[in-house]
Amino acid sequence: MTDPNRPRRYGRPDGEPADDSSCAPAASGLRFAFAGRVSTEDLQSPVESRSWQLERAAGLIAPFGGIVAEFFDVGQCRAASWLRRPQSARLLEALADPDRGFDAVVIGEPQRVFYDNQYGMVAPLFVHYRVGLWVPELGGPVDPDNEAHGLTMAVFAQLAKAERRRIQVRVRTAMGAKARSEGRFLGGRPPYGYLLADAGPHPNPELRRMGARLHRLDMDPVAGPVVTQIFRWRAAGRSAAAICRDLDANAIPCPSAHDPDRNRHRTGANWTAGAVLAILHNPRYLGFQVWARARKTDVLVDPANVQLGTRPVFIDNPHSDWIWSDNQAQPSLVDRQTWEQVQHIRSQRSAIARGRIYLLSGLICCAHCGHRLEGAWNNNRATYRCKLPEQQDTDSDTRPMPKTLSVREDSIIEHLPAMLIRTGIDPAGDPATLADKLRTHRITLIYDHNDKTVTADCDDGPIRITIR
């Protein structure tokens, strides 16, 4: 039986005790917890990164004690606050535990752990709980009463921010130049209608020596003609929904069903209007490489709680900022005249339609098929409908489903304040403000037609309400 008076031991990120020789409990002296971070798993080795950070930290504290606990974040961006990094959050929780099992925290490199204003956010907690913070660059512990130490740590945090910004600018500029002058394929999933083809050895000598090769886009003999037909139908005046029905009627697999290995986050059930519109507005089908259609930027997770830090979001760039290749880079699937005609159709909406506002657009999913409900105007009210109830799980739900199911917007809006209160979000504001709060906190609503319930899919667990 576990002794309740025994100090808690915090081990490796997977919950197992640290088995490194440098993490063995100290026979005497101070007990240290090691803190570190590695970000992009696909570009860096978490094992090697942890190894050199741990070695650097162990070398600093060797004369004074040993490492008995470890908090090492893998795959976490440095811009994410400590509260949103799993292991860093565990470390903050451990600081408040009187039986934490360690006396001080040692890090391998401050730029790996602190970013922007993060040191100023967490340093008072180390002081409050009387836990020392040891840093190799300072040759020992941070003295909270030493102004030079505070300034040095703040500089390291800002250097981490400057390094990240500098890398972003350098990479974006280089990729833009390659897209414009060479028409080079810059990675990512190939658009529906194209396949990746070999484009020869990599121009970088070192990468070429290791066998790296370039790639280009080539027409998919199966999906390419489908893209061309979609543009023809749209140019003839057909709506995106009508095109979806024709594609499904002809048993043409949707993009996620055509290439399921690269679209595991999709159901692959049917064509959707969103998929069709994404194809119709993609200029790469003209045969040119087009880059910088969107940019990634950081926004506050919660403006009312700056301590949560920022999260990355993608923002569409204006057409004037798009970077086009100087020459054709891949086979074209649509001619420019048809493409321009289709883009003009995009802005043609009736005067009646322009007055219709769907406050919960993109926020409601169908519990039976998983698709997002689409907005529809019915009896002068905003409603949301799903045309795919046949995708329900027949083994678990044998009740008959209508051909088309729908839910009124106002029947959900009236319950939003109570739902937000249960999630700890301020429920004040008009319906548009409440809908924006759902988007800000990335809360998705799941509508169940049989039970007449709406469930809020929150990080702290589902919240279910019954509607009329």
The DSSP line for 139-187 is TEE--TT-HHHHHHHHHHHHHHHHHHHHHHHHHHHHHHHHHHHH----S
Separation of alpha carbons 387 and 383, rounded Å? 13
Query: Quick check: is 278 in a domain?
Result: yes
Same-domain status, 49 and 141: yes
Same-domain status, 38 and 143: yes
- The chain-wide mean pLDDT, for the chain, equals 83
Same-domain status, 340 and 384: no
Phi, psi of 395 (to 5 degrees): -70, -35
pLDDT at 14: 42
pLDDT 10s digits, 72-126: 999 888 888 899 899 999 999 999 999 999 999 999 999 999 999 899 999 999 9
Question: Structurally, how many domains does the chain consist of?
Answer: 3
Per-residue pLDDT for 221 more than 90? Answer: yes
Same-domain status, 282 and 157: no
Q: CB–CB of 123/144 below 8 Å?
A: yes
Same-domain status, 337 and 404: no
Query: Quick check: is 58 in a domain?
Result: yes
Binned at pLDDT 50, 70 and 90, residue 17 comes out as: very low
pLDDT 10s digits, 340-365: 999 887 655 555 555 678 888 888 88
Per-residue pLDDT for 36 more than 60? Answer: yes
Q: Looking up tokens 């903050």, which residue turns up?
A: 92
CATH number of the domain enclosing 81: 3.40.50.1390
Query: Quick check: is 126 in a domain?
Result: yes
Same-domain status, 382 and 457: yes
Separation of alpha carbons 327 and 180, rounded Å? 8
Same-domain status, 119 and 134: yes
Query: Quick check: is 374 in a domain?
Result: yes
Query: Quick check: is 4 in a domain?
Result: no
Which pTM value belongs to this model?
0.63
Residue 306: count of CB within 10 angstroms of its CB: 13
Binned at pLDDT 50, 70 and 90, residue 20 comes out as: very low
Same-domain status, 460 and 358: yes
DSSP per residue, 115-145: -TTHHHHHHHHHHHTT-EEEEGGGTEE--TT
Same-domain status, 38 and 132: yes
pLDDT at 286: 94
Query: Quick check: is 395 in a domain?
Result: yes
Per-residue pLDDT for 266 more than 90? Answer: no
Query: Quick check: is 390 in a domain?
Result: yes
Per-residue pLDDT for 70 more than 60? Answer: yes
Domain enclosing residue 132, as ranges: 21-161
Same-domain status, 285 and 387: no
Paired tokens of 48: 């090697």
pLDDT 10s digits, 44-66: 788 899 999 999 999 999 999 99
Separation of alpha carbons 281 and 340, rounded Å? 10
12-16, 118-122, 196-200: least confidently modelled range: 12-16
pLDDT at 19: 43
Interval 158-167 mean pLDDT? 90
pLDDT at 227: 95
pLDDT at 391: 47
pLDDT 10s digits, 392-404: 444 444 556 666 7
Among 315, 348, 381, the domain boundary falls at 348
66-75, 81-90, 199-208: least confidently modelled range: 199-208
Paired tokens of 256: 């996620």
Query: Quick check: is 361 in a domain?
Result: yes
Same-domain status, 339 and 364: no
- Report which of 87, 57, 93 is spatially closest to residue 72, judged by C-alpha positions: 87
pLDDT at 22: 42
Per-residue pLDDT for 313 more than 90? Answer: no
Which amino acid, one-letter code, is at 308? L
pLDDT at 430: 85
Same-domain status, 44 and 145: yes
Separation of alpha carbons 299 and 302, rounded Å? 9
pLDDT 10s digits, 39-48: 875 567 888 9
